[in-house]
Chains A and B, each alone.
Chain A
Amino acid sequence: MSERRLHGLLQASARRTPDAVAVLDAGTGTAFSYRELDDASRVVAEALASVGVQAGDRVAILVPKSIASVTAIFGVLAAGAAYVPVDAHAPASRNLGIVETCGARVLLASEAQWQAVRAEGLTSVAQTPLTSLPVVGGEHLQLVVLDTSEVDSDQARPDLAYILFTSGSTGTPKGVVHTHASALAFVDWAHATFHPSASDRFASHAPFHFDLSIFDLFVSIMSGGRMVLFDSALSRNPAGLADAAHRHGVTVWYSTPSTLRMLLAWGKLERFDYAQLRLVLYAGEVFSAGQLRELAALWPAARFANLYGPTETNVCTWFPVPETRDPDRDEPYPIGVCCSGDHAIVLDPSGAPVLQGALGELCIRGDSVMVGYWNRPDLTERAFLTLSDGHRWYRTGDLVEEDAQGNYVFRGRRDRMVKRHGYRIELGEIENALVAHACVLEAALVARRDDNQGVAIYAYVTIRPGPRPSLVAFKRHCAQLLPRYMIPDRVVVLDAIPKTSSGKVAYRSLEDRR
């Protein structure tokens, strides 16, 4: 087993170029050199060790995106524990559920976030007063020791690196467990493929609970380059984002197509020349060839590549977009071929491999694939398939075809999972939230294609007798339970939800409604 660890990447760069800027917050202008980031993360690691944190323990991080949150991540890893990043902008009730589900030994939180989860009912605080760790610019991390004696999991292995929680179909987020080895498999591949250097400036656009951040955090630190942090406010402001990317000389950009579309529509990109931007990577959604051409005309020095991979596998296939692009191409580019260390197979519903060109489910095995879902052996068992070759394959749920050049081409999903702004959404999780509304009897959701945000979400509900809640009331209710990207666009009250002859929701019938 490899002894390499993710935080070793920081330590190596700090030895090599201690005074180079490791991370810069584009919003505040605050920066940390490699030495400062390494020193500050060691302080966090020592504080965690002093309260008994050890390998296999989980430390939840509930801090808005900032140098403090980067410090917390490397501090947790340096302590030998696994970090569990939690969306500081999601409802406190959802965040509390994640902190409790992962059995976090410690919560590292900003003061405001700590107050929010405490008000929500976090009761397992084991030790007071809290330790308050100064990080940078007056920011502090609150170190909250939790009592996790009731949580038991055989996944608490010493090589655990992080757990990312994604939307779950039954209404509860599920935790994707990665080890240092599975993360490094992707990081090493990316480093060998894109040749980043100490002169690169990486746009860190994704929040840290989103898997795109693994590239931003660890590939940049490994290269000795500069990570330029775009916080959530800047990320939602395309003109400001375009300006900041130019001002900070970003050379490597990695985001969802949703963000690229937002930049195209509202970023006023024509203001700048972006001569330094050499590499643009996109993942998480389909990006039309026409929009890519439009962007390439504004970013002429950049090479483009489509990266593919669910959170469960890290990036596992990729496609370098040809520099000579067909001006008439409409179809999105393929998701490409396997990254080194990973293997793919396309299976029919019976589990038999399909012929080249036939539609089937993409299954992946290899070095970058997750261990399983945190404390959910039932979900883990369903997610993997052991074939006659003796290997355990992760079922992506994505339907693909293999083209004549050996590239996989994405065709759709075999289930109800959808992508919005690049985030995975299980529609069942939103249905559960709507049914929790006092007036709602039944809820059924469908997603319709939307050029701006990936999909628009339509909720169909039946309600109890009495006044009908407004759309504002439904949205307000959802905002208390769900992250913003999961709030339905429309809520339609029906007399009855259409059903099939077997009594199941007739989603096809709902999809046909207008």
Chain B
Amino acid sequence: MADRTLLRQEIRIYILEQFLPGEPADSLADDTALVGDGILSSIDTLKLITHLEDTYRISIDSHEVVGGPLNSVEAIVELVTAKQARG
């Protein structure tokens, strides 16, 4: 559970620093719709995927790029955790 909390924190910080610079941390909730609310552009999404793949040594498939699995901090935590568990 501690790892999951740390992961959530890392991902939140990355998104805030990269895509919402200068914004207060509380403006981004764990369930904020990153794609649906226009927070991430399509290019931002690609940068995020590259970051996740490089940082967590996972591979993200094409069908996971758009929509649900990447649409919130919490969903990203789920995706990364599940992929790491599968090795």
Contact = CB atoms under 8 A, between A and B. Distances in A.
A213 B36 CA distance: 25
Contact of A478 (B38, B46, B62, B65): B38
Nearest to B59: A239
A369 to B, nearest CB: 32
Contact of A484 (B20, B27, B38, B46): B38
Q: A interface, by DSSP: helix, strand, loop or mixed?
A: helix
B39 A475 contact: yes
Contacts of A478: 38
Interface string B33-64: 10011110111011000100000000000110
A9 interface: no
B28 interface: yes
A234 B43 CA distance: 14
Please tell me the size bucket of the interface on A.
20 to 34
A188 interface: no
Q: B interface, by DSSP: helix, strand, loop or mixed?
A: loop
B3 interface: no
A487 B19 CA distance: 13
Contact of B32 (A232, A472, A485): A472
Contacts of A487: 38, 41
Interface in A226-240: 232-234, 236-240
Contacts of B33: 476
B62 A239 contact: yes
A478 B41 CA distance: 13
Nearest to A456: B41
A73 B37 CA distance: 30
A239 to B, nearest CB: 6
Contacts of A240: 62-63, 65
Interface of B: 20, 23-24, 27-28, 32-33, 36-39, 41-43, 45-46, 50, 62-63, 65-67
19 contacts: A233-B63, A233-B67, A234-B62, A452-B43, A453-B43, A470-B24, A471-B27, A472-B20, A472-B23, A472-B32, A472-B37, A472-B39, A473-B27, A476-B33, A476-B37, A479-B36, A484-B41, A484-B42, A487-B41
Task: Rank and list the top 7 A-B pairs by shortest CB-CB distance, nearest first.
Answer: A240-B62, A479-B38, A470-B27, A487-B38, A476-B37, A237-B65, A475-B38
Interface of A: 232-234, 236-240, 243, 262, 265-266, 421, 452-453, 470-473, 475-476, 478-479, 484-485, 487, 489
